[in-house]
Structure 1
Amino acid sequence: MSDKIYFNTSNKFSFKRSLVSVSTRLHHAIAPKHAENLARKLLLTPVRSKPKNAQPQGLIKRELKTSEGTLQTYQLGEGPVWVLTHGWSGTANQFMPLMEHIASQGYTALAYDHPAHGESEGVYGHIPGFVRGLEAVLDNCGDVAGIIGHSMGTAAALECHHQKLLNCPMLLIAPVLDYLDNLFSSLKRSGYSMKLFNAVALELEKKYHYPLHSIDPYTKLSNRTSRTFIVHDQDDKFARFAVSQKAANEIDNVTLIATQGQGHGRIMKSDFVMQAFNVLAQE
Protein backbone atom coordinates (compact mmCIF):
# COMPACT_ATOMS: atom_id res chain seq x y z
CA MET A 1 0.00 0.00 0.00
CA SER A 2 2.70 2.52 0.93
CA ASP A 3 4.46 2.24 -2.45
CA LYS A 4 1.14 2.88 -4.17
CA ILE A 5 0.36 5.82 -1.91
CA TYR A 6 3.69 7.53 -2.56
CA PHE A 7 4.42 6.66 -6.15
CA ASN A 8 1.31 5.60 -8.04
CA THR A 9 0.78 7.43 -11.33
CA SER A 10 -1.83 5.11 -12.83
CA ASN A 11 -5.48 6.01 -13.10
CA LYS A 12 -6.63 3.54 -10.47
CA PHE A 13 -5.44 1.06 -7.87
CA SER A 14 -5.94 -2.67 -7.98
CA PHE A 15 -8.48 -2.60 -5.13
CA LYS A 16 -11.81 -0.84 -5.15
CA ARG A 17 -11.68 2.83 -4.21
CA SER A 18 -15.10 2.81 -2.59
CA LEU A 19 -14.16 0.01 -0.20
CA VAL A 20 -11.01 1.83 0.91
CA SER A 21 -12.92 5.07 1.34
CA VAL A 22 -15.68 3.61 3.48
CA SER A 23 -13.48 1.31 5.58
CA THR A 24 -10.81 3.90 6.48
CA ARG A 25 -13.34 6.60 7.34
CA LEU A 26 -15.47 4.23 9.41
CA HIS A 27 -12.44 2.84 11.23
CA HIS A 28 -11.24 6.35 12.11
CA ALA A 29 -14.70 7.33 13.37
CA ILE A 30 -15.16 4.26 15.56
CA ALA A 31 -11.61 3.72 16.87
CA PRO A 32 -9.48 6.79 16.05
CA LYS A 33 -6.33 5.78 17.94
CA HIS A 34 -6.32 2.26 16.54
CA ALA A 35 -6.96 3.63 13.05
CA GLU A 36 -4.08 6.10 13.37
CA ASN A 37 -1.70 3.37 14.56
CA LEU A 38 -2.67 1.22 11.60
CA ALA A 39 -2.35 4.17 9.22
CA ARG A 40 1.12 4.91 10.55
CA LYS A 41 2.20 1.36 9.79
CA LEU A 42 0.51 1.37 6.41
CA LEU A 43 1.74 4.77 5.21
CA LEU A 44 5.21 4.93 6.76
CA THR A 45 6.54 1.38 6.61
CA PRO A 46 8.83 0.77 3.61
CA VAL A 47 9.66 -2.64 2.19
CA ARG A 48 13.02 -3.98 3.34
CA SER A 49 14.40 -4.81 -0.10
CA LYS A 50 16.93 -7.62 -0.43
CA PRO A 51 20.35 -6.85 -1.97
CA LYS A 52 20.58 -7.62 -5.68
CA ASN A 53 24.13 -6.49 -6.43
CA ALA A 54 27.36 -8.06 -5.20
CA GLN A 55 29.41 -5.92 -2.84
CA PRO A 56 32.56 -4.73 -4.63
CA GLN A 57 36.01 -5.53 -3.34
CA GLY A 58 37.33 -2.84 -1.04
CA LEU A 59 33.90 -1.73 0.18
CA ILE A 60 34.05 -0.30 3.70
CA LYS A 61 30.96 -0.68 5.89
CA ARG A 62 30.48 1.47 8.96
CA GLU A 63 27.70 2.15 11.44
CA LEU A 64 26.72 5.76 12.10
CA LYS A 65 24.81 6.73 15.24
CA THR A 66 22.13 9.35 14.48
CA SER A 67 18.95 10.79 15.94
CA GLU A 68 17.10 8.40 13.60
CA GLY A 69 18.92 5.33 14.91
CA THR A 70 22.04 3.60 13.64
CA LEU A 71 22.52 3.98 9.89
CA GLN A 72 24.62 1.62 7.80
CA THR A 73 27.07 3.38 5.49
CA TYR A 74 29.08 2.03 2.55
CA GLN A 75 32.26 3.62 1.23
CA LEU A 76 34.31 2.77 -1.83
CA GLY A 77 37.33 4.43 -3.42
CA GLU A 78 39.58 7.36 -2.57
CA GLY A 79 39.42 11.03 -3.42
CA PRO A 80 36.70 13.70 -3.35
CA VAL A 81 33.44 12.42 -1.88
CA TRP A 82 30.21 11.86 -3.79
CA VAL A 83 27.27 11.05 -1.52
CA LEU A 84 24.52 8.73 -2.80
CA THR A 85 20.99 8.70 -1.38
CA HIS A 86 18.51 5.99 -2.42
CA GLY A 87 14.71 6.08 -2.65
CA TRP A 88 11.67 4.70 -0.86
CA SER A 89 11.90 0.96 -0.17
CA GLY A 90 15.35 0.97 -1.78
CA THR A 91 18.84 0.40 -0.37
CA ALA A 92 22.37 1.59 -0.93
CA ASN A 93 23.01 -1.78 -2.60
CA GLN A 94 21.24 -0.48 -5.70
CA PHE A 95 24.10 1.98 -6.13
CA MET A 96 26.91 -0.60 -6.05
CA PRO A 97 27.58 -0.61 -9.84
CA LEU A 98 27.58 3.19 -9.88
CA MET A 99 29.81 3.29 -6.80
CA GLU A 100 32.35 1.09 -8.58
CA HIS A 101 32.31 3.47 -11.51
CA ILE A 102 32.75 6.51 -9.26
CA ALA A 103 35.68 4.88 -7.48
CA SER A 104 37.30 3.96 -10.81
CA GLN A 105 37.27 7.65 -11.75
CA GLY A 106 39.31 8.68 -8.71
CA TYR A 107 36.54 9.55 -6.27
CA THR A 108 35.06 8.25 -3.03
CA ALA A 109 31.50 6.96 -3.27
CA LEU A 110 29.64 7.17 0.05
CA ALA A 111 26.18 5.59 0.22
CA TYR A 112 23.98 4.67 3.15
CA ASP A 113 20.68 3.01 3.99
CA HIS A 114 17.98 5.44 5.04
CA PRO A 115 16.19 4.93 8.38
CA ALA A 116 13.95 1.84 8.23
CA HIS A 117 15.68 0.71 5.03
CA GLY A 118 18.32 -1.89 4.25
CA GLU A 119 20.57 -2.61 7.23
CA SER A 120 19.78 0.64 9.06
CA GLU A 121 17.68 0.84 12.21
CA GLY A 122 14.19 2.27 12.30
CA VAL A 123 10.60 1.27 11.71
CA TYR A 124 9.11 4.19 9.81
CA GLY A 125 10.30 6.08 6.76
CA HIS A 126 9.39 9.63 5.70
CA ILE A 127 10.92 12.78 4.23
CA PRO A 128 11.85 14.39 7.60
CA GLY A 129 13.68 11.20 8.60
CA PHE A 130 15.35 10.98 5.19
CA VAL A 131 16.60 14.55 5.56
CA ARG A 132 17.88 14.02 9.11
CA GLY A 133 19.68 10.86 8.04
CA LEU A 134 21.36 12.68 5.16
CA GLU A 135 22.36 15.54 7.45
CA ALA A 136 24.02 13.06 9.83
CA VAL A 137 25.97 11.47 6.98
CA LEU A 138 27.11 14.90 5.77
CA ASP A 139 28.13 15.91 9.29
CA ASN A 140 30.42 12.89 9.46
CA CYS A 141 32.18 13.08 6.11
CA GLY A 142 34.67 15.48 4.57
CA ASP A 143 34.01 18.05 1.90
CA VAL A 144 31.43 16.90 -0.62
CA ALA A 145 32.21 17.02 -4.35
CA GLY A 146 28.65 16.19 -5.36
CA ILE A 147 25.49 14.30 -4.49
CA ILE A 148 23.52 11.64 -6.35
CA GLY A 149 19.93 10.76 -5.54
CA HIS A 150 17.36 8.29 -6.79
CA SER A 151 13.57 8.67 -6.63
CA MET A 152 12.47 9.87 -3.16
CA GLY A 153 16.14 10.23 -2.24
CA THR A 154 16.30 13.12 -4.71
CA ALA A 155 13.55 14.88 -2.77
CA ALA A 156 15.53 14.41 0.44
CA ALA A 157 18.68 15.80 -1.20
CA LEU A 158 16.84 18.87 -2.47
CA GLU A 159 15.07 19.40 0.85
CA CYS A 160 18.35 19.20 2.78
CA HIS A 161 19.83 22.61 3.65
CA HIS A 162 23.22 21.33 4.81
CA GLN A 163 26.09 23.71 4.11
CA LYS A 164 28.07 21.04 2.25
CA LEU A 165 25.39 20.77 -0.43
CA LEU A 166 24.91 24.46 -1.18
CA ASN A 167 27.22 24.70 -4.19
CA CYS A 168 27.90 21.12 -5.17
CA PRO A 169 26.62 19.54 -8.41
CA MET A 170 23.70 17.11 -8.32
CA LEU A 171 22.84 14.02 -10.31
CA LEU A 172 19.15 13.20 -9.94
CA ILE A 173 18.01 9.79 -11.16
CA ALA A 174 14.26 9.32 -11.76
CA PRO A 175 13.54 12.21 -9.38
CA VAL A 176 10.29 12.87 -7.55
CA LEU A 177 10.16 16.63 -8.02
CA ASP A 178 6.39 16.93 -7.52
CA TYR A 179 6.32 15.03 -4.25
CA LEU A 180 3.17 16.56 -2.75
CA ASP A 181 1.18 16.62 -5.98
CA ASN A 182 2.03 12.99 -6.56
CA LEU A 183 1.19 12.06 -2.97
CA PHE A 184 -2.17 13.81 -2.79
CA SER A 185 -3.33 12.70 -6.21
CA SER A 186 -2.45 9.11 -5.30
CA LEU A 187 -4.34 9.40 -2.01
CA LYS A 188 -7.36 10.78 -3.83
CA ARG A 189 -7.35 7.96 -6.38
CA SER A 190 -7.01 5.36 -3.63
CA GLY A 191 -9.98 6.68 -1.70
CA TYR A 192 -7.91 6.67 1.50
CA SER A 193 -9.29 8.89 4.26
CA MET A 194 -7.63 12.29 4.07
CA LYS A 195 -8.62 12.94 7.69
CA LEU A 196 -6.74 9.82 8.73
CA PHE A 197 -3.74 10.72 6.58
CA ASN A 198 -3.68 14.25 8.00
CA ALA A 199 -3.63 12.86 11.54
CA VAL A 200 -0.45 10.90 10.75
CA ALA A 201 1.08 13.85 8.89
CA LEU A 202 0.34 16.24 11.77
CA GLU A 203 2.09 13.92 14.20
CA LEU A 204 5.23 14.01 12.02
CA GLU A 205 5.03 17.78 11.64
CA LYS A 206 4.97 18.25 15.41
CA LYS A 207 7.78 15.77 16.07
CA TYR A 208 10.16 17.11 13.42
CA HIS A 209 8.95 20.71 13.16
CA TYR A 210 8.67 20.03 9.44
CA PRO A 211 5.37 21.18 7.86
CA LEU A 212 4.16 18.86 5.13
CA HIS A 213 3.24 21.77 2.86
CA SER A 214 6.85 23.00 2.94
CA ILE A 215 8.09 19.95 1.02
CA ASP A 216 8.69 21.29 -2.48
CA PRO A 217 11.65 19.67 -4.30
CA TYR A 218 10.87 21.43 -7.59
CA THR A 219 11.13 24.91 -6.08
CA LYS A 220 14.22 23.93 -4.11
CA LEU A 221 15.81 22.77 -7.37
CA SER A 222 14.92 26.03 -9.13
CA ASN A 223 16.64 27.98 -6.33
CA ARG A 224 19.94 26.14 -6.71
CA THR A 225 22.80 27.73 -8.63
CA SER A 226 24.99 24.68 -9.14
CA ARG A 227 24.87 22.31 -12.10
CA THR A 228 22.24 19.54 -12.04
CA PHE A 229 21.82 16.58 -14.37
CA ILE A 230 18.59 14.61 -14.44
CA VAL A 231 18.52 11.11 -15.90
CA HIS A 232 14.92 9.95 -16.31
CA ASP A 233 13.15 7.33 -18.37
CA GLN A 234 10.26 8.60 -20.48
CA ASP A 235 8.08 5.63 -19.48
CA ASP A 236 8.84 5.74 -15.74
CA LYS A 237 5.77 4.38 -13.92
CA PHE A 238 6.61 5.79 -10.51
CA ALA A 239 8.03 9.29 -11.03
CA ARG A 240 6.63 11.65 -13.65
CA PHE A 241 9.02 12.22 -16.54
CA ALA A 242 7.03 15.28 -17.63
CA VAL A 243 8.01 17.10 -14.43
CA SER A 244 11.71 16.48 -15.10
CA GLN A 245 11.22 17.73 -18.64
CA LYS A 246 9.52 20.85 -17.30
CA ALA A 247 12.43 21.47 -14.93
CA ALA A 248 14.95 21.21 -17.77
CA ASN A 249 12.92 23.67 -19.83
CA GLU A 250 12.42 26.21 -17.05
CA ILE A 251 15.63 26.04 -14.99
CA ASP A 252 18.83 27.20 -16.66
CA ASN A 253 21.28 25.01 -14.74
CA VAL A 254 19.30 21.76 -15.23
CA THR A 255 20.11 19.32 -18.02
CA LEU A 256 17.83 16.38 -18.77
CA ILE A 257 19.02 13.07 -20.21
CA ALA A 258 15.90 11.24 -21.39
CA THR A 259 16.04 7.46 -21.72
CA GLN A 260 13.76 4.70 -22.95
CA GLY A 261 13.36 1.18 -21.66
CA GLN A 262 15.36 1.78 -18.47
CA GLY A 263 12.45 1.90 -16.04
CA HIS A 264 12.54 3.40 -12.55
CA GLY A 265 15.14 1.12 -10.95
CA ARG A 266 17.29 -0.37 -13.72
CA ILE A 267 18.24 3.13 -14.82
CA MET A 268 20.45 3.47 -11.72
CA LYS A 269 23.18 1.32 -13.30
CA SER A 270 22.70 2.43 -16.90
CA ASP A 271 25.42 3.91 -19.09
CA PHE A 272 23.40 7.14 -19.17
CA VAL A 273 23.94 7.62 -15.44
CA MET A 274 27.64 6.75 -15.67
CA GLN A 275 28.13 9.25 -18.50
CA ALA A 276 26.22 11.97 -16.65
CA PHE A 277 28.48 11.47 -13.63
CA ASN A 278 31.58 11.74 -15.84
CA VAL A 279 30.44 15.09 -17.21
CA LEU A 280 29.54 16.51 -13.79
CA ALA A 281 32.76 15.31 -12.20
CA GLN A 282 34.87 16.99 -14.87
CA GLU A 283 33.16 20.39 -14.66
Structure 2
Amino acid sequence: MTDSSVPSIVRRRRKLPQIKKLAMLAALRSQMWVMSRTSPDTAAARLADLFTTPPRPSVRHWERHAMTQARYTRRRFGALGFLSLYRWVPEGNGPHPKVLLMHGFGGRISQLSGLAEPLVAAGYEVVGFDAPGHGQSPKRNAGLPDFVDALEMFATQEGPFDTVVGHSMGGAAVATALRRGMVAKRAVLIAPPAYPGTYLAQTGRMLGATEKVSGRAQALIEARYGRAFDEFRTPLNASVLNQDALILHDCNDQQVPLSEGEQVAKAWEGAQFEITEGLGHTRILQAPSTVALVQKFLMETT
Protein backbone atom coordinates (compact mmCIF):
# COMPACT_ATOMS: atom_id res chain seq x y z
CA MET A 1 0.00 0.00 0.00
CA THR A 2 1.43 3.37 -0.96
CA ASP A 3 1.06 6.49 1.12
CA SER A 4 -1.26 7.97 -1.51
CA SER A 5 -3.76 5.15 -0.90
CA VAL A 6 -3.98 5.95 2.82
CA PRO A 7 -6.86 8.27 3.79
CA SER A 8 -5.71 11.86 4.15
CA ILE A 9 -6.77 12.06 7.81
CA VAL A 10 -4.49 9.08 8.60
CA ARG A 11 -1.61 10.70 6.73
CA ARG A 12 -2.10 13.90 8.72
CA ARG A 13 -2.08 11.96 11.99
CA ARG A 14 1.18 10.29 10.99
CA LYS A 15 2.76 13.63 10.18
CA LEU A 16 1.65 15.37 13.38
CA PRO A 17 4.26 13.82 15.72
CA GLN A 18 7.07 14.75 13.30
CA ILE A 19 5.69 18.29 12.90
CA LYS A 20 5.50 18.60 16.69
CA LYS A 21 9.11 17.45 17.06
CA LEU A 22 10.29 19.97 14.49
CA ALA A 23 8.37 22.76 16.23
CA MET A 24 9.91 21.81 19.59
CA LEU A 25 13.39 21.72 18.04
CA ALA A 26 12.87 25.15 16.47
CA ALA A 27 11.74 26.58 19.83
CA LEU A 28 14.71 25.01 21.62
CA ARG A 29 17.11 26.33 19.00
CA SER A 30 15.67 29.83 19.39
CA GLN A 31 16.01 29.67 23.18
CA MET A 32 19.56 28.35 23.00
CA TRP A 33 20.60 31.02 20.49
CA VAL A 34 19.36 33.78 22.82
CA MET A 35 20.77 32.19 26.01
CA SER A 36 24.17 31.64 24.38
CA ARG A 37 24.49 35.39 23.85
CA THR A 38 22.81 36.70 26.98
CA SER A 39 23.52 34.04 29.62
CA PRO A 40 26.26 31.68 28.37
CA ASP A 41 26.63 29.85 31.69
CA THR A 42 22.91 29.00 31.70
CA ALA A 43 23.15 27.94 28.07
CA ALA A 44 26.14 25.70 28.81
CA ALA A 45 24.33 24.00 31.69
CA ARG A 46 21.31 23.44 29.46
CA LEU A 47 23.44 22.01 26.66
CA ALA A 48 25.29 19.71 29.08
CA ASP A 49 21.95 18.43 30.38
CA LEU A 50 20.59 17.84 26.89
CA PHE A 51 23.74 16.03 25.79
CA THR A 52 23.49 13.57 28.68
CA THR A 53 19.74 12.96 28.44
CA PRO A 54 19.20 9.81 26.34
CA PRO A 55 16.16 9.58 24.08
CA ARG A 56 13.87 6.58 24.46
CA PRO A 57 12.69 5.54 21.00
CA SER A 58 9.86 3.05 20.66
CA VAL A 59 10.69 -0.66 20.70
CA ARG A 60 10.24 -2.49 17.39
CA HIS A 61 8.15 -5.65 17.06
CA TRP A 62 11.15 -7.82 16.15
CA GLU A 63 12.95 -6.68 19.30
CA ARG A 64 10.06 -7.76 21.51
CA HIS A 65 10.01 -11.19 19.87
CA ALA A 66 13.75 -11.73 20.32
CA MET A 67 13.64 -10.63 23.95
CA THR A 68 11.05 -13.25 24.86
CA GLN A 69 13.89 -15.79 24.80
CA ALA A 70 15.93 -13.87 27.40
CA ARG A 71 15.97 -14.37 31.16
CA TYR A 72 15.31 -11.00 32.79
CA THR A 73 16.54 -9.78 36.18
CA ARG A 74 17.32 -6.48 37.89
CA ARG A 75 20.53 -5.86 39.79
CA ARG A 76 21.95 -2.87 41.63
CA PHE A 77 25.06 -1.33 40.07
CA GLY A 78 26.33 0.78 42.94
CA ALA A 79 25.60 4.50 42.54
CA LEU A 80 24.18 3.82 39.07
CA GLY A 81 21.12 2.23 40.65
CA PHE A 82 19.21 -0.83 39.50
CA LEU A 83 19.78 -1.88 35.89
CA SER A 84 17.89 -4.38 33.76
CA LEU A 85 19.89 -7.51 32.90
CA TYR A 86 19.26 -10.09 30.18
CA ARG A 87 20.68 -13.55 29.65
CA TRP A 88 20.35 -16.09 26.84
CA VAL A 89 21.63 -19.55 27.81
CA PRO A 90 22.22 -22.53 25.48
CA GLU A 91 20.98 -25.99 26.34
CA GLY A 92 23.26 -28.41 28.08
CA ASN A 93 25.49 -28.18 31.11
CA GLY A 94 27.86 -25.23 31.36
CA PRO A 95 30.03 -23.42 31.67
CA HIS A 96 29.62 -21.80 28.28
CA PRO A 97 31.83 -19.05 26.83
CA LYS A 98 30.15 -15.67 27.36
CA VAL A 99 29.40 -12.92 24.88
CA LEU A 100 28.56 -9.49 26.27
CA LEU A 101 26.34 -7.11 24.27
CA MET A 102 26.57 -3.33 24.85
CA HIS A 103 24.12 -0.96 23.16
CA GLY A 104 24.70 2.68 22.24
CA PHE A 105 23.43 6.03 23.53
CA GLY A 106 19.65 6.22 23.23
CA GLY A 107 19.57 2.50 22.48
CA ARG A 108 18.74 -0.64 24.46
CA ILE A 109 19.99 -4.20 24.63
CA SER A 110 17.04 -5.44 22.56
CA GLN A 111 18.54 -3.71 19.51
CA LEU A 112 21.37 -6.25 19.58
CA SER A 113 19.16 -9.21 20.49
CA GLY A 114 19.17 -10.44 16.89
CA LEU A 115 22.72 -11.65 17.57
CA ALA A 116 21.63 -13.70 20.58
CA GLU A 117 19.84 -16.61 18.92
CA PRO A 118 22.63 -17.56 16.47
CA LEU A 119 25.29 -17.13 19.18
CA VAL A 120 23.34 -19.32 21.60
CA ALA A 121 22.91 -21.91 18.84
CA ALA A 122 26.71 -21.88 18.47
CA GLY A 123 27.12 -22.66 22.19
CA TYR A 124 27.64 -19.20 23.68
CA GLU A 125 25.93 -17.72 26.70
CA VAL A 126 24.88 -14.18 25.80
CA VAL A 127 24.50 -11.48 28.45
CA GLY A 128 23.82 -7.76 28.48
CA PHE A 129 22.10 -4.92 30.28
CA ASP A 130 20.25 -1.69 29.63
CA ALA A 131 22.60 1.14 30.60
CA PRO A 132 21.48 3.81 33.09
CA GLY A 133 18.63 5.85 31.61
CA HIS A 134 18.11 3.36 28.77
CA GLY A 135 15.64 0.62 27.92
CA GLN A 136 13.99 -0.82 31.03
CA SER A 137 16.52 0.75 33.40
CA PRO A 138 15.29 3.75 35.43
CA LYS A 139 15.28 7.18 33.84
CA ARG A 140 18.21 9.45 34.61
CA ASN A 141 20.93 11.39 32.86
CA ALA A 142 23.68 9.22 31.45
CA GLY A 143 26.98 9.76 29.72
CA LEU A 144 29.83 7.68 28.35
CA PRO A 145 31.50 7.41 31.80
CA ASP A 146 28.31 5.79 33.12
CA PHE A 147 28.50 3.20 30.34
CA VAL A 148 32.11 2.41 31.23
CA ASP A 149 31.38 2.21 34.96
CA ALA A 150 28.46 -0.14 34.33
CA LEU A 151 30.58 -2.33 32.05
CA GLU A 152 33.33 -2.59 34.63
CA MET A 153 30.90 -3.49 37.43
CA PHE A 154 29.16 -6.05 35.24
CA ALA A 155 32.51 -7.55 34.19
CA THR A 156 33.47 -7.94 37.85
CA GLN A 157 30.29 -9.94 38.42
CA GLU A 158 30.04 -11.86 35.14
CA GLY A 159 33.45 -11.84 33.44
CA PRO A 160 35.75 -12.76 31.94
CA PHE A 161 34.13 -12.70 28.51
CA ASP A 162 34.98 -14.60 25.38
CA THR A 163 33.73 -11.70 23.23
CA VAL A 164 32.37 -8.21 23.85
CA VAL A 165 30.15 -6.52 21.26
CA GLY A 166 29.54 -2.77 21.39
CA HIS A 167 27.41 -0.56 19.15
CA SER A 168 28.07 3.15 18.63
CA MET A 169 28.81 4.79 22.01
CA GLY A 170 28.69 1.29 23.47
CA GLY A 171 31.66 0.48 21.25
CA ALA A 172 33.55 3.48 22.63
CA ALA A 173 32.70 2.30 26.15
CA VAL A 174 33.92 -1.24 25.36
CA ALA A 175 37.27 0.07 24.05
CA THR A 176 37.68 2.25 27.14
CA ALA A 177 36.80 -0.58 29.54
CA LEU A 178 39.20 -2.96 27.77
CA ARG A 179 41.97 -0.37 28.02
CA ARG A 180 41.18 -0.05 31.75
CA GLY A 181 41.50 -3.82 32.28
CA MET A 182 38.19 -5.51 31.44
CA VAL A 183 39.05 -9.06 30.35
CA ALA A 184 37.84 -10.38 26.99
CA LYS A 185 39.41 -12.52 24.32
CA ARG A 186 37.79 -10.73 21.37
CA ALA A 187 35.88 -7.56 20.57
CA VAL A 188 33.36 -6.52 17.94
CA LEU A 189 32.75 -2.78 17.56
CA ILE A 190 29.88 -1.67 15.34
CA ALA A 191 29.92 1.97 14.15
CA PRO A 192 32.26 3.19 16.92
CA PRO A 193 32.60 6.98 17.34
CA ALA A 194 36.10 8.41 17.67
CA TYR A 195 35.64 11.21 20.23
CA PRO A 196 32.65 12.41 22.29
CA GLY A 197 33.66 16.06 22.01
CA THR A 198 32.91 15.96 18.30
CA TYR A 199 29.28 15.10 19.02
CA LEU A 200 28.87 17.68 21.78
CA ALA A 201 30.13 20.39 19.42
CA GLN A 202 27.83 19.07 16.70
CA THR A 203 24.84 19.15 19.06
CA GLY A 204 25.74 22.69 20.08
CA ARG A 205 25.86 23.88 16.47
CA MET A 206 22.54 22.19 15.69
CA LEU A 207 20.92 23.98 18.63
CA GLY A 208 22.45 27.37 17.85
CA ALA A 209 24.92 27.45 20.75
CA THR A 210 28.15 29.36 20.34
CA GLU A 211 31.49 27.55 20.29
CA LYS A 212 32.31 29.05 23.69
CA VAL A 213 29.08 27.66 25.17
CA SER A 214 29.85 24.20 23.81
CA GLY A 215 33.30 24.38 25.38
CA ARG A 216 31.79 25.35 28.74
CA ALA A 217 29.28 22.50 28.45
CA GLN A 218 32.13 20.05 27.94
CA ALA A 219 33.92 21.44 31.00
CA LEU A 220 30.73 21.00 33.05
CA ILE A 221 30.32 17.36 31.97
CA GLU A 222 33.99 16.63 32.65
CA ALA A 223 33.68 18.20 36.11
CA ARG A 224 30.50 16.22 36.83
CA TYR A 225 32.25 12.91 36.15
CA GLY A 226 35.77 13.91 37.12
CA ARG A 227 37.00 12.50 33.80
CA ALA A 228 38.24 14.29 30.69
CA PHE A 229 36.73 13.60 27.28
CA ASP A 230 40.23 12.68 26.08
CA GLU A 231 40.00 9.49 28.16
CA PHE A 232 37.34 8.29 25.72
CA ARG A 233 39.16 8.74 22.41
CA THR A 234 38.40 5.38 20.84
CA PRO A 235 41.34 5.22 18.38
CA LEU A 236 43.75 6.08 21.21
CA ASN A 237 42.29 3.39 23.46
CA ALA A 238 42.28 0.90 20.57
CA SER A 239 45.97 1.55 19.91
CA VAL A 240 47.00 -0.21 23.14
CA LEU A 241 44.67 -3.22 22.83
CA ASN A 242 45.77 -6.65 21.64
CA GLN A 243 42.49 -8.58 21.53
CA ASP A 244 41.30 -9.98 18.21
CA ALA A 245 38.93 -7.33 16.89
CA LEU A 246 36.28 -6.87 14.21
CA ILE A 247 35.15 -3.35 13.32
CA LEU A 248 31.90 -3.06 11.36
CA HIS A 249 30.68 0.19 9.83
CA ASP A 250 28.16 1.10 7.15
CA CYS A 251 29.20 3.48 4.40
CA ASN A 252 25.77 5.18 4.62
CA ASP A 253 25.89 5.76 8.40
CA GLN A 254 24.44 9.26 8.92
CA GLN A 255 25.16 9.40 12.66
CA VAL A 256 28.75 8.19 12.95
CA PRO A 257 30.82 8.76 9.79
CA LEU A 258 32.57 5.79 8.23
CA SER A 259 35.88 7.62 8.64
CA GLU A 260 35.63 7.21 12.43
CA GLY A 261 35.32 3.45 12.18
CA GLU A 262 38.30 3.51 9.84
CA GLN A 263 40.33 5.42 12.44
CA VAL A 264 39.52 2.84 15.10
CA ALA A 265 40.34 -0.10 12.84
CA LYS A 266 43.63 1.49 11.78
CA ALA A 267 44.64 2.12 15.40
CA TRP A 268 43.73 -1.40 16.61
CA GLU A 269 46.62 -3.65 15.58
CA GLY A 270 45.44 -6.62 13.53
CA ALA A 271 41.77 -5.57 13.56
CA GLN A 272 39.51 -6.74 10.75
CA PHE A 273 37.50 -3.95 9.14
CA GLU A 274 34.30 -4.70 7.26
CA ILE A 275 32.21 -2.07 5.43
CA THR A 276 28.52 -2.70 4.84
CA GLU A 277 26.26 -0.79 2.46
CA GLY A 278 22.71 0.50 2.83
CA LEU A 279 22.26 -0.47 6.49
CA GLY A 280 22.86 2.88 8.17
CA HIS A 281 23.53 3.26 11.87
CA THR A 282 20.93 0.91 13.41
CA ARG A 283 19.66 -1.43 10.68
CA ILE A 284 23.16 -2.90 10.66
CA LEU A 285 22.36 -4.50 14.03
CA GLN A 286 19.61 -6.77 12.70
CA ALA A 287 20.94 -7.47 9.22
CA PRO A 288 21.67 -11.15 8.42
CA SER A 289 24.95 -10.03 6.84
CA THR A 290 26.05 -8.59 10.20
CA VAL A 291 25.25 -11.85 11.97
CA ALA A 292 27.19 -13.75 9.32
CA LEU A 293 30.23 -11.48 9.68
CA VAL A 294 30.25 -11.86 13.46
CA GLN A 295 29.88 -15.65 13.20
CA LYS A 296 32.71 -15.83 10.67
CA PHE A 297 34.94 -13.71 12.90
CA LEU A 298 34.30 -15.96 15.91
CA MET A 299 35.02 -19.11 13.93
CA GLU A 300 38.24 -17.71 12.47
CA THR A 301 39.61 -16.47 15.79
CA THR A 302 38.70 -19.44 17.99
The alignment's TM-score, normalised by the length of structure 2, stands at 0.78
Alpha-carbon displacement from aligned partner over 1:132-166 (angstroms, at most 9, x marks no partner):
1111211210321010011111111111145333x
Is the 1:85–1:150 Cα contact (8 Å) retained in structure 2? Answer: yes
Alpha-carbon displacement from aligned partner over 1:206-248 (angstroms, at most 9, x marks no partner):
3422112332111111221111111111111011112323444
Q: Structure 2 matches for 1:95-244, cutoff 5 A?
A: 95-160=112-177, 161-165=179-183, 168-188=185-205, 190-244=207-261
Query: Which amino acid counterpart does residue 252 of structure 2 have in structure 1?
Result: D
Whole-angstrom distance in 1 between the partners of 2:287 and 2:249: 11
Cα 1:148/1:135, change in 2 over 3 Å: same
Q: Are residues 1:73 and 2:85 paired?
A: yes
Alpha-carbon displacement from aligned partner over 1:23-81 (angstroms, at most 9, x marks no partner):
1313525xx45x45533432221111232212445411111211211111111024111
Q: Are residues 1:38 and 2:46 paired?
A: yes
Cα 1:18/1:101, change in 2 over 3 Å: closer
Please state how far the C-alpha of 1:116 moved relative to its aligned partner. Answer: 0.6
Please state how far the C-alpha of 1:191 moved relative to its aligned partner. Answer: 3.3
Cα 1:108/1:90, change in 2 over 3 Å: same
Identity of aligned residues (%): 21
Query: Which amino acid counterpart does residue 51 of structure 1 have in structure 2?
Result: V
Query: Which amino acid counterpart does residue 204 of structure 1 have in structure 2?
Result: I
The SS at the match of 1:63 is strand
Q: Which structure 1 segments of 5+ residues have no match?
A: 1-13
The runs of 4+ residues in structure 1 deviating greater than 4 Å are: 14-21
Bigger radius of gyration, 1 or 2?
2
Q: Are residues 1:51 and 2:69 paired?
A: no
The SS at the match of 1:170 is strand
Aligned to 1:23: 34
Aligned to 1:278: 295
Cα 1:182/1:45, change in 2 over 3 Å: closer
Please state how far the C-alpha of 1:106 moved relative to its aligned partner. Answer: 0.4
The SS at the match of 1:169 is strand
Alpha-carbon displacement from aligned partner over 1:70-125 (angstroms, at most 9, x marks no partner):
11111102411111110111111111111112111100111111111111124112
Cα 1:173/1:18, change in 2 over 3 Å: closer
Whole-angstrom distance in 1 between the partners of 2:295 and 2:226: 38
Cα 1:249/1:159, change in 2 over 3 Å: closer
Whole-angstrom distance in 1 between the partners of 2:292 and 2:111: 17
The alignment's TM-score, normalised by the length of structure 1, stands at 0.83
Cα 1:144/1:227, change in 2 over 3 Å: same
Whole-angstrom distance in 2 between the partners of 1:123 and 1:22: 26
The SS at the match of 2:107 is coil
How many residues align structurally?
266
Query: Which amino acid counterpart does residue 71 of structure 1 have in structure 2?
Result: L
Is the 1:49–1:118 Cα contact (8 Å) retained in structure 2? Answer: no
Whole-angstrom distance in 1 between the partners of 2:84 and 2:28: 38
